[in-house]
Every structure is written in structure tokens, then in C-alpha cells.
Amino acid sequence: MSVPEYRQFYIDGAWRTSSSDKMSAILCPVTERVIGSLAMGTHADVDDAVAAARRAFATFSLTPVEERRALLGRILALMEERAEALAIAMTTEMGTAISFARSAQVPFGIAHVRAAMEALSDYAFITHQGSTAIVREPIGVCGLITPWNWPLYQITAKVAPAIAAGCTTVLKPSELSPLSALLFAQIMHDAGTPPGVFNLVNGTGEEVGAAMASHPDIDMISITGSVRAGILVAQAAAVTVKRVVQELGGKSPNILLPDADFARVVPLGVASALRNVGQSCSAPTRMIVPVDRLEEVETLARCHAETMIVGDPMAQDSVLGPVANKAQFDRVQYMIGVGIDEGAKLVCGGPGRPEGLSEGYFTRPTIFSDVTTDMRIAQEEIFGPVLCIIPYATEDEAIAIANDTVYGLGGHVQSADLESARRVARRIRSGQVHINHPAWDAHAAFGGYKQSGNGREYGVFGLEECLETKAILGYGPS
């Protein structure tokens, strides 16, 4: 039986066939079988997309704010209308449980469009300092590179603020999860996005990503991906001195202070670490707990992990589907073996697939305890359903453990006393810290310290990454 072929890219307001005959297989992570093939773009395709974006920028950058806000509103409405199709696409391409796709992957993606609209509604593009005007102007053509783990969410987190700012865009989604991106491109078309304002070219990072990063007519490159990919993009971009925004890896801590409600926060901590099968760069995969409560935490964590049903992601009761691809499955299995070899205590899970599953990239929810901060499983991003429990004796030691990483993307603190939680949160070296598992905020600045990246996304922070600042002296009073 033949599988569908996706040979077209979206460039200059129309679908057009790739300049290359090279195709890449799309694999179903549940069955490990080919479910489609995707055209791999070339430098020529990038040139076409960038040229279209450059032409469109001349006029789109001058559009009134209300016109851009109206465009975002149409995109928002179409995403809501086609939410189920988007959810099914993500479950198909990267294995996220359909319940999670419906409750998080799609709604959070929609929320980024809404947040960009809200940020735009009262943003002051011109302010005054005496007779000097400070003008914020769109930076130009934005090259956007997005990952496979939150495929729609990361697209809208980049595209929506760029559109709000008056920029034009060239998007390279992950070739491992392209189906939702193709649906999104159709939404952009059907929303009446002017030709050239949004362009999509599929392909590999080595070919399409590198061509975008080094392209002289791309003014900003924004990437969400691994540290290795972020470094390569920054190196390629340096030649043209363009702005580089990177949201990269993480190994986020979750500090449980002694007065926390452990019966509540331990299960929530496990769920946060393992959601999306642990494939979140900000997942709190290091649970840092008082040494005298270690056994209690192990029991609570194991009990919750054992309630998490792993299975067919289209089944309504499945909490965790497979990891997204073979390379990631192999990496997770390898790192579980590393944890065992390092002498960490295996609380639950372990190597191999869950019982009853003989195919697919399914992984057992795995919890290690008695982990020390020098272990590889405590330092390296595993990107799978693996949680490390690390004991501490004092608050200072807990904070030192939290900061003992090359990353600095997210962090969590749990305490019954808000002031204590605030005190610890201020000492964690990361771009975001969550106190007592609050609701997600689409306007909260998101980005990393250290090797977790540069720049910030979401809301007004994402909007400002797409703007240049111009001072006009002698402008006169407002």
C-alpha cells in the first residue's frame, strides 16, 4: 500500500513543488512503519522563500497594528476550528497521547497567538524622552527553526510575535514531525496572510537550517533545539552578524522544601517531569528532596508513576504514548542503562518496553533515587520519561544542587511558606521558576541562562525579540 508524499512547500502565498527529488520517510512511532514521505528542501528553496519574505517585508512592515492584529485573530479562529485535526496530526507524527494533544499541545499553541494579539493591543512602538523619540521597528525577515517535541506550540511561539511585530517569516519545522506544520501553513493561507509574509520549507538542519542561519537576507534566526544545533546555528549566523535567539536544552530542578505538602507536590512533580513522555526541554527531571524524607518521596513517586498508562496514544485512557522517534528511543534506553551502571537506585521502570508492548518506541516510566549530582543522569538531558531524585541536607545544598548544571531553562520550588519559596526561587539560576505548580502563563518570559540559550519568547518578550530600537534625536515633543 502506497503512503502519501508531501512534496510541496509554502512559498510566496502558494504551494509549490520542491526543487529537489530527495525524500525522507515519516515514521509512525507506534508501529515503527513508514506513514509518508517528505520532500527535503535545498539552498535554492531557502533562497526562494527568503526572496519572497524580503519582498513582502517592504509593505508588511508598514501595516497598521490593527491590520496585523486582525490577521492574528483570523489565524486564531481557524486554529480553534481545526483543533481536532491538529491534535490528530501530532499524535500521528510524534506519538503524543491524543488526550494531551487536545488538552495541552493544541490549546497552548493557540494561546501563543492570543498572547501575541494581547501584547500587540497596547504595545508602545514609539515612546518619548524629551525631544528624542525611541522607535521600535520590525527587525526584518525572521528565520524560524522549530523542534519535533512541541511541534505546533513552538511554531506559534515564533510565528505569532514575528507577525505581530510586522516581520516576515521563513519557517523550517522539524522533518520528524511535519504534518502539523503543513496544516498550520494551510491555516496561514486560509487566514489571508499576504504572500511572502509566511513561508515554509521542510528539510534537514544540515541543509535548510544551515542555509537559513547563514543567509544574508535573513535578519534574525530563532531556534528551539539541542545545544549542539544551537551552537551550529549561532556559528553560521555570525558571518552575517544577525540576531540569534536560542531556546535550547534543560535539566530543570524541582526543590521540595521540608514544609511542602509532599502528598500533593510529589505526584505533581512526577507528572510534570514525565508529561509529553518527558520530551520537554523545561521538564523538572531532577527532584531535589530532604534526605530524611527520601523514602517517603520514593513511595509517592513510584505510586504515581505506576498509575500512568503507557499505550496506544489514540486510546482515551493512555497518559503516555511512545517517544517520538527511534533515535530518541535509543538514547533513552541507553541513559537508563547508564543510571543503573552508575549505581543509582531504580525505584520503578527500567530498560525495555512496558509489559504487553512488543513494538513501537514505548518506554517504561523510570525513576531513579539516591542520585548524586556528578552522575550523568543528573547532568545530561535525557529527553524521555526518566526522573532523578536527589537528596539534600540543607537549603543551601539544595540550591547548589539545583544550580550544578550547564543548563538554566526552568526550575520549580515547593513550600507551604510563600516567602521561603520566593527566597529559593530567586537563587535558582534559570529563566523561569514555578512556585507550587502554578498555572501556565503564555505571557511569562521563557528562555534560558547558560547553555539553555539566549533571548526570550512569549508575549511581549517574544514580540520585542523581533524588533529593532531606533533613537530619533530632535524628533520633538509627543
Specify the pairing of strand 23-27 against strand 34-39: antiparallel
CB–CB of 167/192 below 8 Å? Answer: no
Q: In what order do the strands lie in the sheet with 126-129?
A: 126-129, 132-138, 467-472
Q: What string of DSSP letters covers 346-375?
A: EEE--SSPPTT--SSS----EEEES--TTS
Interatomic CA distance for residues 109 and 117, integer angstroms: 13
348 assigned to active site: no
Q: Residues 247, 381, 457, 465: which is the catalytic one?
A: 247
Cell of 242: 544577525
What angle (nearest 5°) sits at the alpha carbon of residue 279, between those of residues 256 and 303? 50
What stretches of 174-323 adopt beta strand conformation (E)? 198-200, 220-224, 243-247, 253-256, 286-290
The question of whether 247 is a catalytic residue gets the answer: yes
DSSP symbols for 36-73: EEEEPP-HHHHHHHHHHHHHHHHHHTTS-HHHHHHHHH
Q: Which H or E run contains 300?
A: helix 294-305
Separation CA 75–CA 12 (nearest Å): 17
34 contacts 27 by C-beta, under 8 angstroms: yes
Catalytic annotation, pick one of 281, 348, 388, 466: 281
Q: Which residues contact 242 (CB under 8 A, 6 or more apart)?
A: 218, 219, 220, 221
Give first-to-last CA distance, the chain, whole Å.
68
Q: Which residues are within 8 A (CB) of 381 and not within 5 positions of it... i.e. 6 or more apart?
A: 249, 250, 251, 281, 407
Catalytic site positions? 247, 281
